[in-house]
Chain A
Amino acid sequence: MSDWITITIDGKEVKAKQGELLTEAAARAGIHIPVFCSHPKLDPLGACRMCLVETEGRRGKMLVTACTTPVNDGAVFYYDSPRAKDARAGTMELILANHPLDCPICDKGGECDLQDQAMEHGTGHSHYWEEKRHKEKNYPLSDLIMLDQERCVTCWRCIRYLEQWEDKPQLGLFNRGSATVIDKFPDAELDAYTSGSIVDICPVGALTNRLSRFRYRPWRLEHTDSICTHCGMGCNLRIDTRDFRVRRNVARTNMAVNDEWICDKGRFANGFAFSEQRLIQPLARIDGELQPVSWSEALDRVVAGLKDVVARHGAASVGGIGSAKLSNEANYLLGKFMRGLVGTNNVDFREGSALKAERRGIPSLKAAREADLIVLMGVDPSEEMPVLANFLKRAVKRGGAPVIIVHSRRIELTKYDGVFFNPAPGEESPLFDALTKASLQARNEASPDWLAEVEVDEETRKAAALLAKAEKPFIIYGTDYAWGYGSASIVQALTNWIVAAGHGDRLGFLHSQANAVGAADMGLMPDLLPGQRPLTDAAARAQLEALWQTELSAQAGLGYSGMIASALGRIKALYIMGADPVGEKPGYQKELSSLDFLVVQDLFLTETAKLADVVLPAASYVESAGTFTSTERRVQKAPQAAKAVGDSLPDWTILMHIARRYAPEKADAWRTPSVEAIFAEITQAAPQYAGFTWENLGDSGRQWAWDALPAPREIVAYQASEPAPIDKTFNMRLVTGSLLWDDGNVFAATERMASLGRKGVWLHPADAEALGVFEGDAIAVRSREASLELPLYISPRIRPGTVFVPFSLKDAPVGELFDEYGPRTTVAVYRA
């Protein structure tokens, strides 16, 4: 390469890249210059003076900070010279002058840069004998992070992280000299969703994890490289355990996925792995009550129950519901069992056939970071995928990408330049039609006749112009537009727009569940076989019949809500793994209690499990091994990190045992003894996974190709759904969506995070005023179906005329409100 230059460090010639920082060049040569403030992911600052070295300057030798000094050809540096060493020792002495040195009670002790560098670069004695300065020692910055101001070395890393990655300045330095302290800005909360990253990058023990406070010593931890399964991003993290129990999660670097960051859910919400609420033994309904039974009895009951229903009502009366939160292996085996042994195609998961989503997810997370334009439709990355949101903010702030947002709420990213459309529920497809027309016009293409009446205005034209100009736009839509009543027409309309703009092959869907792509890959949808091959594909069926040594029916099965609704009719038995329909919509209790036989396999005794005939305790992903396929189709390993709670077993083990008892004569096809072996079978069943092995997934996973499945190419005329009627009583439109801090089953198990977030109904200030209600008031939201009561939050981010009720709130399941217009229904809002 032409830009290699030569510099001299301590008389040794070293190759370096023109303009790189001396710290980087030296590190390549094996010289590790000590640093505190410098961090590879933050802009250089030169605040701590730990990295002093000597250089030949115009007026002879002088001291410079290596972390801010770019190297030029022929430059000469002295790292090991007496003066440089003396300067660093002096810096160290000054840093330690007021440092409390309370290592024995400091959670950083053992992995602390100050400890290590004091040993290496300090002198071991101090000229100061005065009393040290005292500051706040255990100062909670938030529910998650503890600050010890005495330990802070004022390196600014935390401040810079929040500014440069979160674009949320929330911390600052106050006072001067040795009285300087880190603190929150007045009136600011430290509530950035990736705030925990500052715990990872703080070089000392000034910022520590409050939830795992004092619960580990770094040198006694076992490390398991794993991933996060709270959302579809698939962030890489490391699970640190001792005694086979989870002590903390820290971020793990994967440049293709999460860089070196994880969000606070991934870092702190690991309580499910050791919650007191976990199921620790199988339960069976005996004399009307759920009672503990042995595994063997529970399994026999499941097999007998299912066989009985099949014998009386046929295989089509049985259904299996899996979960996008569970591993590929678990979902694959459930599908294989249902289709192959029971003989039914009634298989699905909540985000399965009901979601009108691009099943390939998004092209790649890398594409998000390199985007020159960002288009977000019905998706709020800040709440659904905080690390991705940070990447997008960087693309805006550093890459100059404008943002086009179509959303029913004024989401955080609308603060950036671009175009924001705020259609009310029901107004989306006309808006996308206008955008389609504008984009066709922008590219001088003719519009189809059915768009003739559509009007194009200033804003749509501006958005179309931005999209026409963009070379590598990142275009995604999300669950808000792809789920429930009317979603088919919205998704068709937005697809038309992106196709019209010539970017059809870039249109992605942001799957918010950890394994939503994987569950579809595993064929856990009524009309999809493993490999996302249609059930109607005879060749695919034949291949699977050979692999599974069985016969497969081609008759389409029922989906998630179809199965539950039919529980009052032709469905007689359900096997529900990792899903909680009743928790989501208590009304489902009626359907599920009328089943002849219900099996629930879960971590907790969920509302659904309370209705079951047999409850099987499953081990969480931390306690069992498996693979997950993220929203960018990256297949990643999550090896076992901790010991399973109680008698719980991995999902795949349970299914394996049930299958072998269900059909002993076919036990041969169910002889896969390990997760690795199941994964090997998956790579045969799903063509996209061919060539993958448990080993070659490695540390950073492997992606299956974006173009393995076709992208939309045509503009298609469609029938727009009628919006829900507005009348005098039901005069507000309901808006739902996910917030990071909700009360979902898995998240809620980390009880110390329960108070986070603002959980309630949200109204625009104008609507609140019209109703005469104030922040904090108890508010009733009533639909034609049911009514909920929640505290009120008032925010200009809410669209006037709409009321926002987030998903997964404790004791207030928004699903209860849904009528035939589903999440896009109309409601009455009043003071409760």
Chain B
Amino acid sequence: MSGLKELVQGAEFIAKSMGVTLKTLVTEAPNTVQYPEEPVAMYPRFRGLHELRRYEDGMERCIGCSLCEAACPTGAIYVLAAENDPSNPVSPGERHAEVYEVNLMRCIFCGDCMRACPTEAIVLGHNFELAQYDRVDLILDKEALLNPPTPNVIIRPDA
């Protein structure tokens, strides 16, 4: 007769757990994010796609010092600095980055570049949408870095 007892017991458990499910179904909002229709919130310290920041007046913060390049453990950054044209400077002071590239095929998102930067120019943002159809598009140039698709820059106290 143990078979019948087990059956009743089993039904009881199922009813109990389904009860939780049914209760939650009506009392709580769904947790699933409708990505990509809906945005995904990242933790503040998440390290995603790089961005190059500007000062409020529009000047580039980067001075082309190449310290990020030096700090990068994977050789993902390339910087070529140049003199600012005094009549049309792109950054405060004499020096700016003429070429700045991040190679996302190499980057491991460690954030060392951000830590090395003396002007808080390069930061890792929250954008994680890195997929591309073409490898070449995985190399971000200065243009792309200065104009991220979704500017979402935070300065990290821990950085």
Contact = CB atoms under 8 A, between A and B. Distances in A.
A214 B70 CA distance: 15
B82 A104 contact: no
Contact of A105 (B63, B69, B70): B63
Given A138-B94, A214-B95, A104 B67 contact: yes
A213 interface: yes
A214 B69 contact: no
A217 interface: yes
A215 B63 contact: no
Contacts of B67: 104
Interface residues of A, number: 10
Contact of A220 (B63, B66, B82, B94): B66
Interface string A71-113: 0000000000000000000000000000000001100010000
B83 A217 contact: no
Contacts of B83: 213-214
Contacts of A213: 83
B93 interface: yes
Contacts of B64: 105, 214
Contacts of A217: 66, 69-70
A219 interface: yes
Interface string A212-245: 0111010110000000000000000000000000
B95 A105 contact: yes
A105 B94 contact: yes
Interface string B60-96: 0001111101100000000011110000000001110
B63, B64, B80 — most chain A CB neighbours (10 Å): B80
Contacts, number: 30
A697 to B, nearest CB: 34
A192 B2 CA distance: 109
Contact of B93 (A105, A219, A220): A105
A104 B64 CA distance: 8
A215 B94 contact: no
A148 to B, nearest CB: 10
A104 B94 CA distance: 12
B118 interface: yes
A219 B63 contact: no
B116 to A, nearest CB: 10
Nearest to B80: A215
A244 to B, nearest CB: 14
Contacts of A104: 63, 65, 67, 118-119
Contacts of A138: 94
Interface in A181-237: 213-215, 217, 219-220
Interface in B104-126: 118-119
Nearest to B78: A243
A9 B66 CA distance: 41
Contacts of B63: 104-105
A220 B68 CA distance: 13
B139 to A, nearest CB: 14
- Closest A-B pairs by Cβ, 9 of them: A104-B65, A214-B81, A105-B95, A217-B66, A104-B118, A214-B95, A105-B63, A214-B83, A213-B83
29 contacts: A104-B63, A104-B65, A104-B67, A104-B118, A104-B119, A105-B63, A105-B64, A105-B65, A105-B93, A105-B94, A105-B95, A109-B65, A138-B94, A213-B83, A214-B64, A214-B81, A214-B82, A214-B83, A214-B94, A215-B80, A215-B81, A215-B82, A217-B66, A217-B69, A217-B70, A219-B70, A220-B66, A220-B69, A220-B70
Interface of A: 104-105, 109, 138, 213-215, 217, 219-220
